[in-house]
Amino acid sequence: MPTTSRERLVAAAFELFAGQGYDATTVDEIATRAGTGRSTFFRHFPTKDDVVLPDHEALLRRVDERLATASSAGLEVALREAAGIVLEHYLAEGETARTRYRLASSVPAIRDREVASVQRYVRLFGKHVHRWLDTEPDGPLRAELVASAIVIGHNHVLRQWLRGAVDDADTTRTLVDRALDHALAVLRGPAAAGAPTIVITGGERDVEQVVQQVRAALGRP
Amino acid sequence: MPTTSRERLVAAAFELFAGQGYDATTVDEIATRAGTGRSTFFRHFPTKDDVVLPDHEALLRRVDERLATASSAGLEVALREAAGIVLEHYLAEGETARTRYRLASSVPAIRDREVASVQRYVRLFGKHVHRWLDTEPDGPLRAELVASAIVIGHNHVLRQWLRGAVDDADTTRTLVDRALDHALAVLRGPAAAGAPTIVITGGERDVEQVVQQVRAALGRP
DNA sequence: GAACTCGTTGGTACTCAGTATCGTACTAGC
DNA sequence: GCTAGTACGATACTGAGTACCAACGAGTTC
């Protein structure tokens, strides 16, 4: 079983971090346990954190590619699928992702790195959403809101899966879809200048019922 | 003018960072320029970054206090005022805040710290919004969305002021108010289970016009 | 005024992350 | 068999952050 030194380093790091904690573990120990030199560690990972962090670069690239090909009509689908790419990556990682999550929950250094990564996804989504909103009033702000809403919706459900509160992959996918309904409502509901914008989410969409609700909501029938 | 050593350290750090860059400046240099010892630096600031970062602790505490006293009816007002507390802090800081912004824009280490700080505000807002949404469906997710939307709206305008794109304080306040309209729309638009929830933002709220819009939107008149 | 706190400071020594560099072993291709 | 490229190990260095101790000055008490 001659795994690569990179893989051995990752395995050793996960074991040591779990066993004696992140701060109490030195890069020297990780390298020694992996049967390699300290130089090799830093040749594979720029910092100590990176050995347990996922490869966001590749993931961001794939998300970027999916969003870049989105047409105006297919924007929502593209956003959902882009979020799906990330979700599927984590689901495929399985237990590794969950171990990392527990680590990030207890080690501030790793948590901060993760937060910074999340920000990169928000910026990426924002870049593309902005392309579709740039003619609209408050386009840049709304693009940022939508992008962040999508990432939050996705991560909200992802965390449930990482914690083990949800275990089934299909259930997780369904929940993400529902969470993205909320997120995309932000996209559909611009604050128009002339005619008001109306967002209807959830429930049965019986016209007369909705109309009645509108009359009631506006207060003066 | 015997300023405290803490103040001298902050001043020295800003000067050196601006002059020769963040990475090229050592804590030793900062301490020497401030006419103090290296020990004194770390006695005042836990890390090198912290010397130029704002005192988020105090700010978070004040925001927390404002939100804690919010009644159900005054929730939106409380959220706006809480955001206002942060805005006023930056406006009062003036040029210092702008210098820090330029620093954070160019130094990844500082930018990451700022991103982590922003996350703390989101969590704080989320904690309080959650109290008001916990009976509603998808309360935790919606609370997170609203909290993040408020912080994004606030920061979106704040950044314009920091960059100097907006210079007048009153204009900035007005823009934040408008940005928070978008953010709070997320709060008002829950995805109800039975009856749909309807969010109407912007424009004239003439009932018949809205009803007509609803009929058109739902497609089957 | 001497002794006694107590908070602020400076100095020294240490650990460890991260960088730079050099020599070496292994492999591929000609 | 030779060479170019690549992965590796070892060493030495910088600088952030920690731990500890000794000194100084301003009260305070006897």
Going by their DSSP bridges, the two strands A197-201 and B197-201 should be labelled as antiparallel
Amino acid identity of B134? D
Q: Per the domain annotation, does A187 fall within a domain?
A: yes
Q: Please give chain A's pLDDT, 221 residues, in tens.
A: 458 889 999 999 999 999 999 999 999 999 999 999 999 999 999 999 999 999 899 899 999 999 998 877 788 899 999 999 999 999 999 899 999 999 999 999 999 999 999 999 999 999 999 988 877 778 899 999 999 999 999 999 999 999 999 999 999 999 999 899 888 887 776 543 234 545 454 455 566 666 766 666 555 44
Q: Are B186 and B133 in contact (CB under 8 A)?
A: no
Q: Per the domain annotation, does A104 fall within a domain?
A: yes
pLDDT at A197: 46
* Average pLDDT of chain B, as a whole number: 86
Range of the domain at A171: 53-192
Q: Per the domain annotation, does B127 fall within a domain?
A: yes
Q: Is the pLDDT of residue B190 over 60?
A: no
pLDDT at A139: 81
* 3 state DSSP class of B180: helix
Q: Which stretch of B35-39, B80-84, B215-219 has the lowest confidence by average pLDDT? A: B215-219
Q: Which residue is nearest to nucleotide D18 (CA to C1')?
A: B42
Q: Tell me, yes or no, if A53 comes closer than 8 A to chain B by beta carbon.
A: no
Q: Tell me, yes or no, if A156 comes closer than 8 A to chain B by beta carbon.
A: yes
Give yes or no: residues B146 and B93 share one domain: yes
Q: Tell me, yes or no, if B148 comes closer than 8 A to chain A by beta carbon.
A: yes
Q: Per the domain annotation, does B219 fall within a domain?
A: no
Report the residue from A207, A209, A214 with minimal CB separation from B210: A214
Give yes or no: residues B62 and B104 share one domain: yes
**Element (DSSP H or E) covering residue A18:** helix A5-20
Give yes or no: residues B100 and B22 share one domain: no
**DSSP class of A49:** G
- CA angle A130-A133-A134, nearest 5°? 80
Q: Per the domain annotation, does B13 fall within a domain?
A: yes
φ, ψ for residue A195, nearest 5 deg: -75, 140
Do B202 and A209 count as a contact with CB atoms less than 8 A apart? no
Mean pLDDT for B163-170 is: 92
Q: Per the domain annotation, does A16 fall within a domain?
A: yes
Give yes or no: residues A22 and A117 share one domain: no
Residue of A nearest to B151 (CA): A145
* Residue numbers in B near A175 (CB within 8 A): none
Give yes or no: residues A107 and A124 share one domain: yes
Higher pLDDT, B157 or A210: B157
Give yes or no: residues B58 and B130 share one domain: yes
CB-based contacts with strand D under 7 Å?
Answer: A 4-6, 35-40, 43-44; B 25-28, 38-39, 42, 46-49
Q: What is the CATH number of the domain that holds B9?
A: 1.10.10.60
pLDDT at B74: 82
pLDDT at B165: 93
Q: What is the CATH number of the domain that holds A171?
A: 1.10.357.10
Dihedral (CA of A115, A116, A117, A118) sign: positive
Grade residue B137 by pLDDT with cuts at 50, 70 and 90: confident
Give yes or no: residues A17 and A74 share one domain: no
Burial of B138 (0-12, 13-18, 19+ CB in 10 A): buried
CA dist B190 and B184 (Å) reads: 11
Helix B108-133 crosses helix B139-163 at what angle (to 10 degrees)? 140
Tell which residue, B63, B104, B113, B58, has the closest CA to residue A108.
Answer: B113
* Residue numbers in A near B190 (CB within 8 A): 201-202
Mean pLDDT for B186-210 is: 54
Give yes or no: residues A46 and A92 share one domain: no
Q: Tell me, yes or no, if B116 comes closer than 8 A to chain A by beta carbon.
A: yes
Query: Which two three-digit tokens encode residue A42?
Result: 């830093």
pLDDT at B139: 80
pLDDT at B215: 67
Report the residue from B186, B191, B202 with minimal CB separation from A202: B191
Give yes or no: residues A62 and A152 share one domain: yes
pLDDT at B210: 66
Give yes or no: residues A135 and A31 share one domain: no
Give yes or no: residues B86 and B145 share one domain: yes
Q: Which stretch of A92-101, A178-187, B111-120, B144-153 has the lowest confidence by average pLDDT? A: A178-187
**How many domains are there within chain B?**
2
pLDDT at A83: 96
Q: Is the pLDDT of residue B151 over 60?
A: yes
pTM (2 decimals)?
Answer: 0.83
Indicate the Cα dihedral angle B210, B212, B214, B217, nearest 10°.
-130
The pLDDT tens digits for B9-44 are: 999 999 999 999 999 999 999 999 999 999 999 999
Tell which residue, B82, A79, B30, A31, has the closest CA to residue A87.
Answer: A79
CA dist B78 and B153 (Å) reads: 15
* 3 state DSSP class of B197: strand
CA dist A73 and A57 (Å) reads: 28
pLDDT at A221: 43
Do A207 and B218 count as a contact with CB atoms less than 8 A apart? yes
Using left for φ > 0, alpha for ψ between -120 and 50, and beta otherwise, residue B60 falls in alpha
Give yes or no: residues A42 and A81 share one domain: no
Q: Per the domain annotation, does B220 fall within a domain?
A: no
Q: Per the domain annotation, does A208 fall within a domain?
A: no
**DSSP class of B136:** S
Q: Is the pLDDT of residue B73 over 80?
A: no
Q: Is the pLDDT of residue B197 over 70?
A: no
pLDDT at A207: 66
**Nearest nucleotide to A45, CA against C1' atoms:** C18
Higher pLDDT, B49 or A201: B49
Q: Is the pLDDT of residue B218 over 50?
A: yes
- C-alpha distance from residue A26 to each of A7, A9, A47, B141 (Å): 18, 12, 12, 38
